Structure 1
Amino acid sequence: MTLPIVKRYLIAFENYKFAGLAAFVVALGISGGVGMILEAPPRPPYEARGILTYKNPPVLFSQTGQNIRQQGQQLTDRMLLQPRVIETVLNETMITPRDFRANARVQIRPGEGGQPGTIQVTFKDYNRDRSVEVVNVLMREMIEQSRLINTEQLRNIMDTIQDRMGPARAELREAQNTLEEYDRREGATLLAIESGSLPQSIISNRNHVEQLELRLDSINAQIASLEGRLGLNVDQAYVSQALTADPIIAQLRVQLYQIESQLEFLRKDFTDAHPLVADLIKQQQASEQQLQARASEVLGGHGVAAPLRQVDQIRVDSSLDPSRQQIAQNLINLQTQQETLLQEIATSREVGRRLEREYATIPNKQMEKMRLEQQVGYRQTLYDKMQAQLADAQAAEAETVSSLQVAQEAAAPDVEDPPPPPSLILVMAAGGFGGVIVGAVLIFALGILSGKFYTWEEIQGALKEREIPILGVVPNVLDDHADWDMPLLLHHNSRYLEPYEQVRSNLFSNGQKPPKVVLMTSTKGPEGKTLTAYNLAIASARAGKRTLIIEADLRSPSQVERMRLAIDSQDRWEPLRYYGDLNNCIRMVPDVENLYVIPSPGPLKQVTAVLESSEMRRLLKEVRHRFDVVIVDVPAWSDHNDALTLEPLTDGMVLVARPTCTMSAQMNQLADQLTETDEEQTGPKKYRPRLLGAIINGAELDLLPEDDGELIDIQSVDSLDRPALPRDYEPIPQLPSGARR
């Protein structure tokens, strides 16, 4: 038994053999062309090789020399292959820059286990002497380049130090000047705090203020005592003492006393209008005015008269006796001392506050001085370090040499002659074998990419994976002399009836309520849907069931002429009347008992209107009661929506699939639509077409031979005009004879 994958490949080979043949021819042609252009490889060039190693110079006395030596052992090929080196090599060896770039190699290998690293220099050339010369010159120039690199590093160090020393010297001088200026400005204060004189001054000032305050308290007590004894305050005592001491005021007081005495005497006898009394009153008034004016002059200061006072008050204030004048003078002197002490206390306190403020700024001034001294120290240290580094670099100038030395002189070993090229026959044989493999792979890939099922086993596996019931597997009933006709199994002894009988039994005898009206469809023609419908109807009629075939593919012509029935061409003009007359549209098949057919009046234009008409609904409802089995043949699912239109009027649909015709993607899409569960429906519940099962048509199966003819006698219908082939019909390619078993 042939494996399914082998069958699939043989069918794909029949379909795509020209593509495989083209791949084989292309591969063979390419191999032939390659074999013809193959030539003997040229003699390989000589490869000269030399080795450089890092050397340890003699004893170094400078740190800069040691650093340069360490850096000199970290070279790269880009540092060594400078334009100067390449130009010198090109000029001395007379090679082109292109040859140098293509054939020269410098490989730096680090050292292991404490050993110094190596630099391998190679050059390829067909001239052995020239390759050796190029390597030697290149190693010599690389050694010189290493020396130049070390020298340049030392020169850069010295230049950098010298460039930095000028600003460092200026910074050092600036820091020193700043420190000197600060010492001149704040040196005395810092010296005072260091010697302790400033704290002593603060303490002495505080003691002096305390003594002045004690003296002030004593004077305040004396002033209070004298004010109590005199009955006047200091200002009143001053006025009284001044007025009493003035002789003019004393004289005016005497005159007023005399005038008042005379007035008192005369008023006993005379009125104020008397000339003597009036004259005395005028003298009294004049004296009082003089007294006020003199008091104002005495009490005024700096040439400015004091405000006029009352005469009575002036006479009272100027009436001190000598003892009270002495007390008033003492009180005035004590006030003067009091004011002096207050001023001295205020001055001492201000001095104390200034000393305290100065003392409070001492830490900041000390810190500032320390900072300036540190800056000077830093600048001095940096400058000294630069001077030491410059001296070290100058000492390393005599120690700077190349970091490389020759470890192995250049040498070019002998080379072997290359093997001869393979023969043309061998190359073409390999190309032909490769072409066979490529062609086979291409055929298999095209077969996979076509998306078709090539064997009935593949269809069976896909249906089982989708959990679609398989009603049966029907063999291929086409023969060699009727490859364009639809072979109907009208013979009683046909060996092809048995598979259809099994399909009929599985379809109409399954379940408590077997289907009665079945709709036959397919994914996309030609799967042999119409052929399966007719042969299934014949098998049902042979089993004694009143069977009706409804040709519902109104877009294609009727196939009833193959069953010896004539077609009325007038029916297509009035299809609704045609389906409305049930007795007229149902035809009995003469060669098969119990088999009836409703021919299609097609092809029609308004197919949807006819299928959705009330006549069609009434027809399907009526035939359900008249016949045992009704098979409705509709167009393929992917071509039109006729199956969806008529399916609600039936008991379900049957899917017909066929190898080399059914596309896997289309069948999977149809199966997803028909087998969708209620849980997968996210929207409102919708009507879903019922899928009763699937029939695999055109399978390569072994059947028992028979003696008589099994197909319809083709010569019996030769007198009739052969109708056009159905829309879903296509000759099915046959498997090779070796695969049919």
Structure 2
Amino acid sequence: MKNDYIKGGGDPNSGGYGYGYGYSGGSGYSYGNYGYGGYGGGGEQAPQRSIKDYILIFRERIWWLIVSFFIIFSGSLLYTFNKTKVYTSVAVVRLLRDDPSAMGVSVELAQNQIVGAEDLNTQISLLQSGKIIQGVNRRMSDEQRKRFLLPYEGAFSFSGPLTPTEILGKYRKIMPQRMSLMVNVAYTHPDAQIAADVANLFAQEFINYNLSENIDASMVAVEGLRIRADQQKERVEEIELKLAEYRERHNAVSLDSQENIAREQLVTLNQIKLESKNNYDQLDTKWNLIETYKREERKLWQLTFVAEQSRVSRLLESISATRIEISSYSKRYREKHPIMIQLLQTLQESEIELQEAVTNSVDKLYASYIEAKSNFELSSKRLAEKESELIALSKTRVEYNTLLRDLDVQQSFFQALNSRMTQEKAQVSLKEANARVVDDAFPPLRHSSPNITVNLLVGVFGGLAVGGGLVFIVAFLDDRVKSAFDIEGTIGLPLLGVIPRIKKLDSSTKAQAVAANVDRHVTETFRSIHSSLKLNDESKNAKIILATSTVPSEGKSFVSSNMALTFANHGERTLLLDADLRLPNIASSLQLPNEFGLLDHIEQGSRLDDMIVSEVYPNLDVLPSGGKSKNPTQVLVSAQFEAMLADLRDRYDRIVVDSPPLAAVSDALNLLPFVDGIVYVIKFNTVKRKTAVANVRRLWESNTPVFGAILNNITTSLSSYYYSQYTDKAYQDYYIGQEDEMEDELAASTEPEEKVES
């Protein structure tokens, strides 16, 4: 019962399911029609991290968060209470959308209109420019400049002592108000009065600078208008001369009337053509239908426009009535009866007359069709002739119209230039600023910085954010297996169970934890593992189960012995086989002699029954290793070992084989051909995920079923986050309430029988 090794879509190292089981069966953890994504034909999607995973990540590394929070919050406190208090004063400036005009309507050539975001941003950039800063520096009085520079004397700077312009540019702030043309001009300074004075100076300098620029631009524009007006006058005179010469040469006075007459005739002919076209299209459609019916040998009186003819319509009604009479009389008389003969003769005559009527109707329609076609062709020809006549007339006056339009344009332009120049001259002397000071800055009563509330909030949230980030970075760099997500999502094995850590007990007591019931959570975990293995046919029917791990000291022998005890407690005849021939541990853990055992049977041919320690516990036998082997690989691949397992398979319901770790030696791989499945033991927070993935892949490549993984030695406090079913309060009360009764029962049923085999 081997499973097929399948390479999936992703590499297991990437955190997804890269390999899996492909055989079919029942509803198990990872194989058959039910399983996790990545192995099993009908598996679900790969597991995702839950909120408990993230809680565990924070819990394990809480000190990273605490230390980071303390450092950043302390830094924010020191910064807040040691920084010099500064004051911010704000002047409010209103930008006018158009330049003010004393004439009522702005006629300036150089305007400063604000019609969009680009214009507004231009004004803001001007307010932030070096020109305004230099103007403010010139406007300050000596007393103001002295108070202004006093707080910055002796201040450190890589470029030397700070200049007034550098200080002004560094601490002023321009803040446009949203969805308006209002701008806040703010300045920050340790002296509240200086902060207000400088903010007002910035607003005044901006207004004066804009006004000066507008006046200079208008003067330049007036001179440009005068030069262009003189040039335009010469152009108008030149065109007037050309137009007079053209009229004289082509006698162009009557062109307008001729063109008007031709246009009226063209409209009339076009209307006649449209009417002819419509009539022709209607008759053409009818005639095409007649032709179609003739080709298909269909009755022409089925056409609506033929059937609507009075004679045809009357004959159709007569034929219909005659046929009804024939049908009625045929029920009483035979065909040779005089009445029937007369009716049939009447029907025949009516049909002949109908055919003649249809033929006459079609002939009339065809004559109308030919006439309509001729009328349409004639009207089209006359329209084309009139269009050619109008085109020829239009060509004659093209140059004339061009000269006339050019003259109108140039005259209008000349008049506009003269009018604009006159208005601009009057406007220059009436210039006003395109901005107003709405609110003057005043000395603030409270400092603006440091902002104690904001700084403390930044310290709190910054500390939490940095600490949380460090926690996740450390968790990302930590490659050790420590959760169900790591086992199921990264390694690709179903989780059979989670064994809590057993404290303050020696290895012998731990190896018999299920029998002694030293920890009820541990006992219940092994019962849960036993139930999980019973859910699938592969693990349910497996007789030889191999227990292995990645590296030494993961609790593999502890799991093997207690899993064997669990099988035995459920009435299955069980053998615990110590196949770790390098560092055997089963005998010492169960306080059994290890002088004789597996090696004696394989190497010396000792009788197998003499090597087995029987009834160590009810239904549990143990086959110790019998010491250490110098060449364990040779022993495990020998024919004697294979024959021994075949013999034991017939004797026992379950054989639990304890083997060396995969990453240390390859002994466990030599055992794979003889076992029915594998239970993989992983110690909490010890083994690296990549190492575990690489070794599990070796197991998959052997086509031996891996029933799942057991996470060992997890602390009870941490297990409560991921595996609440193991520490549920209701079950805890059950265990405590039944404690005395369970101890008495286990003591009576699991008393070991010590036997020393010679």
Which has the higher Rg, Structure 1 or Structure 2? 1
TM-score (norm 2): 0.49
Please give the TM-score of this superposition, normalised by the length of structure 1.
0.50
